[in-house]
Amino acid sequence: MEFFIRKNATLPILKMQVVQDGRNDYNSFMESLVNANIRFSMKTEDTGILKIASKQAFIVEKTQENPDAPVEYYIYYKWTGNDTKKSGRYIGEFSITNTDGELIAPIRETLYINITDSFVTGGAGSSSNPSGGCC
């Protein structure tokens, strides 16, 4: 799973759908998520050094247009400017702790987070254009 965000950006929010896999009682699992402690961590892919260590993450119910549609939930993390300060490739994971124990997500595949350089190097008055004018 690949996620892309620009350096120093705070959007888009990182979100991941909680999937019904058929192995657990989905409804009781979702109920336990409401009171769960959800944390997000991110480490560099090459060195394994933590960039984000167990920061608060959240859960939200998806608004359904069809009232008969099954309920869907997403866990998400809201970036800060400091989180995306350094471009590179990272590995992220959510830790969900409830009365049943701890679950690390995603389960089936690795969550790769790519922080990419912006093609905009600065605004008016930046070092690349000290006069702040055009052209």
pTM surpassing 0.75?
Answer: yes
Residue 129 lies in a domain: no
Q: Total structural domains in the chain?
A: 1
Cα distances (Å, whole numbers) of residue 134 to 1, 53, 79, 125, 126: 40, 42, 32, 11, 12
Q: DSSP state, 42? A: E
Residue type, 41: S
Residue 102 lies in a domain: yes
Return the CATH number at 31.
2.60.40
Residue 53 lies in a domain: yes
pLDDT score for 18: 80
d(CA 112, CA 75): 16
Q: Which domain holds residue 15?
A: 2-116
What's the average pLDDT block by block, 10 residues per block, for the chain (135 residues)?
96 88 60 84 97 95 85 91 96 92 89 91 44 43
d(CA 51, CA 91): 10
Residue 130 lies in a domain: no
Bridge partners, 73 (sequence order):
18, 61
